Every structure is written in C-alpha cells, then in structure tokens.
C-alpha cells in the first residue's frame, strides 16, 4: 500500500506576519520618497559592497585605508584584486560635472595591433549596474586585460558614482556625467586617438546618451544586451511607440541621433533584457551595421567569454566598420580608382 506524502505544513501566523512586514519594508524602500527618479535609482543600481571585489591603495603607503579615490589627493594609487597588484592596469581618477570623483583604469595589451585603423582607436567600456571594476579584473575570467589583448588596443573603464571607491551617489544623471567625464579625459590625454564606446546592459544607456551628442572623435558604438527604456523593460513592451511619463534610460528616444556606426550584440536566450529590445533599437539606428544575434547566450553568458564570437565580431567592427575604417577604405578606393584612371 502506497503511503501518500504529507502535505507541506501551512505557514504559521508568525511566518505570515514576517512576510507581510518584509513586503511592506521593501515597498517603503522602493516607493519612498515617491519620486520617479528615486524609485528608478533603487531598482536600477545594485553595486557590489565596497571592497568586495577590489581595493585601492597609495603606492607610497599601501597600508593606508582609503574610503574614496578622493582621499588620495592626486597621489599615485594602485588597484589590488585578491591581494594582487595589477601592474598592467594604470589607475587614475577624474572629477565629473556633478563633483563625483571616479576611479578609472586603462588596460594595455601585450601587443598593439599592426592594423593602422585599430592602432588609431581606443575603447571606453561602460559596465552593468551590478558590477564594479573589480568584477572585470578577476583572474581566470573575461576581464579588461583580456579585452585589451583581444582588441589589440587600450581599454578604458571606470566605476560609476557611488560604485567601488568612486564618490557620489548612483543615479541616471550621475551615470551620464560619469561617462562624459572619462570620455573628455581621453580626448585631452590621447589627442591622437579615435574612440569606440562599448556599453553592456545598463551601461548601454550611458553609451547611447554620450553618443547621441556626437562628441569629437567618436567613431563607433557597441551595445551588448541593450534596453530600450526602463519602463519598456519592466513592462516587456520594447516596441511601444510613445514614451510613458516618468520613464527613464530612454535609449529608444536618443539612438536615432547617433551619427556614427553602431553594432548591437544580443543573446537570444536573454531573459533579463530580451532580444526584442536590441532589435527595436536596431530599427531606429541612423547608421547601423549587421547586428550579432548570439544563439544560446543569456544576459550574463554573452560577455563571460563563453561565446568568443562576440569579441571577434567587435574586433572585426573596429577593423572594418567604424567611421575611421570606412574613411580609410573610401580613401583607398578613391586612390585605386584614380590610379586606374590615370
């Protein structure tokens, strides 16, 4: 005779009260104050705990604790991940228009590209909302140093305001000011270089906001797992024609203003930001290149190194499809025609 499994015990009144209190607490945290920008900020930004993935230290006094890069007072600092200093990573800081002091890094490849188009470019990377610099500098994983070697050029990255050892608070406004400050630093310190901006996840909104203003020397944009807007994502309606009041991260409204070439990469198994968002953005591009749909990739695995075609496609984009490469090809083609004519 089979013995029926006993039913799970019903939660007691204490358990029910605990769940009610927890739900009320979560609602109060998200909805108070009832300001759309504050609600979006709490939902959108999830920085790792400070010091969980990396720390910074003064080169002159490694034992001194730093709460923010602001505390270094322009003294040279070094970045430490898992008690290891990364000598190949140059650490610097910039100050934004919102008075945030950001931790920034420049990672250089072991060997620079011999392709003149790639050699004349550098990469600026905008990361996701749940990562900081240390997340992309872990050993034995796809990290900024690996990016530099794959792209054969310098890769710049930074922590948003309120992330890691950057000062300030997380917000959409600050994030846009952050990427502009780092971009302007590259313009000033690398006057001989063109810039390709790569954004991943929420970092695509920073990349789009910057690129829509068509800054000097921007020759290409790469968007990995991008979203159309915050409410379109939460409501799973990327094709909505009009924008809701109170919506934010409005890439769908800005992307049509980008003059440079834009490459979109998206995984077809992405459940966090479905591929339909990437395709909706693609349809609104002024100057698109063929997108990359990564079959089997989800929101995390698309950039984990599991799908190397993502990085080979970006490298190909930098060689052949950025505005710099297109101009070079046009000049070469014109010269060839002129030679044949003569």
pLDDT 10s digits, 163-172? 999 999 999 9
pLDDT of residue 22: 47
Mean pLDDT of 75-81: 87
In the numeric block, which tokens belong to residue 97? 């228009």
In the numeric block, which tokens belong to residue 188? 């000033």
Beginning with the edge strand found earlier in the chain, give each strand of the sheet holding 77-81 in spatial order: 55-58, 77-81, 84-85
Asked whether the predicted pLDDT for residue 313 surpasses 80, the reply is yes
Class level of CATH domain 55-329: alpha beta
Asked whether the predicted pLDDT for residue 254 surpasses 80, the reply is yes
Q: Would you tell me how many other CB atoms lie within 10 Å of the CB of residue 76?
A: 11
Average pLDDT, the chain: 86
- The neighbouring-strand residues paired with 80 are 55, 85
Asked whether the predicted pLDDT for residue 338 surpasses 80, the reply is no
Share of the chain above pLDDT 70, in %: 83
pLDDT of residue 180: 98
- Residue 57 banded pLDDT, cuts 50, 70, 90: confident
**Distance separating alpha carbons of residues 58 and 77, to the nearest angstrom:** 4
Distances (CA, A) of 121 to 74, 279, 286: 27, 27, 22
DSSP class of residue 96 equals -
Mean pLDDT of 247-265: 96
Smallest CA-to-CA distance from 256 within 229, 279, 284, 231 is with 284
Active site residues: 201, 270, 299
Handedness of CA 304, 208, 249, 276 (dihedral sign): negative
Which of the two residues, 73 and 158, has the higher pLDDT score? 158
Mean pLDDT of 286-315: 96
Which of the two residues, 82 and 153, has the higher pLDDT score? 153
pLDDT of residue 41: 65
CA 310 to chain centre: 15
pLDDT of residue 10: 57
Asked whether the predicted pLDDT for residue 147 surpasses 90, the reply is yes
Mean pLDDT of 220-226: 98
Helical residues (DSSP H) of the chain, grouped into ranges: 13-31, 36-44, 116-119, 144-151, 172-189, 203-211, 230-234, 251-254, 275-283, 309-320, 323-341
Asked whether the predicted pLDDT for residue 278 surpasses 70, the reply is yes
Mean pLDDT of 73-81: 85
26 contacts: CB under 8 Å, gap ≥ 6: none
Q: Would you tell me how many other CB atoms lie within 10 Å of the CB of residue 241?
A: 5
pLDDT of residue 330: 56
182 contacts: CB under 8 Å, gap ≥ 6: 94, 102, 104, 124, 156, 158
């Amino acid at each position: 005779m089979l013995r029926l499994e006993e039913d799970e015990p019903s939660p007691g009144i204490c358990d029910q009260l605990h769940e009610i209190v927890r739900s009320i607490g979560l609602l109060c945290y998200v909805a108070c104050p009832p300001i759309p920008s504050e609600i979006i900020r709490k939902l959108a930004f999830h920085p790792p705990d400070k010091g969980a993935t990396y720390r910074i230290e003064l080169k002159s006094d490694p034992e001194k604790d730093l709460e923010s890069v602001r505390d270094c007072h322009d003294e040279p600092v070094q970045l430490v991940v898992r008690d290891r200093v990364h000598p190949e990573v140059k650490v610097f800081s910039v100050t934004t228009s919102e008075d945030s002091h950001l931790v920034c890094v420049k990672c250089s490849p072991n060997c620079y590209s011999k392709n003149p188009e790639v050699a004349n470019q550098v990469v600026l990377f905008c990361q996701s909302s749940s990562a900081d610099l240390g997340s992309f500098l872990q050993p034995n994983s796809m990290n900024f140093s690996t990016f530099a070697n794959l792209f054969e050029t310098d890769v710049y990255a930074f922590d948003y305001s309120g992330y890691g050892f950057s000062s300030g608070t997380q917000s959409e406004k600050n994030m846009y000011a952050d990427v502009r400050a780092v971009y302007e630093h590259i313009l000033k310190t690398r006057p001989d270089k063109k810039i390709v901006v790569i954004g991943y996840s929420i970092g695509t909104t920073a990349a789009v906001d910057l690129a829509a203003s068509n800054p000097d020397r921007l020759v290409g944009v790469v968007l990995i797992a991008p979203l159309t807007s915050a409410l379109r994502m939460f409501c799973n309606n990327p094709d909505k024609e009009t924008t809701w009041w109170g919506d934010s991260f409005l890439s769908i409204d800005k992307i049509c203003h980008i003059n440079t070439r834009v490459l979109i990469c998206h995984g077809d198994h992405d459940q966090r930001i479905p591929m339909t968002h990437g395709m909706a953005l693609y349809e609104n591009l002024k100057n698109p290149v063929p997108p990359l749909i990564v079959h089997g990739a989800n929101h995390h695995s698309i950039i984990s190194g599991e799908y190397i075609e993502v990085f080979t496609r970006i490298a190909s984009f930098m060689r052949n499809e950025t505005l710099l490469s297109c101009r070079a090809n046009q000049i070469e083609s014109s010269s060839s025609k002129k030679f044949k004519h003569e």
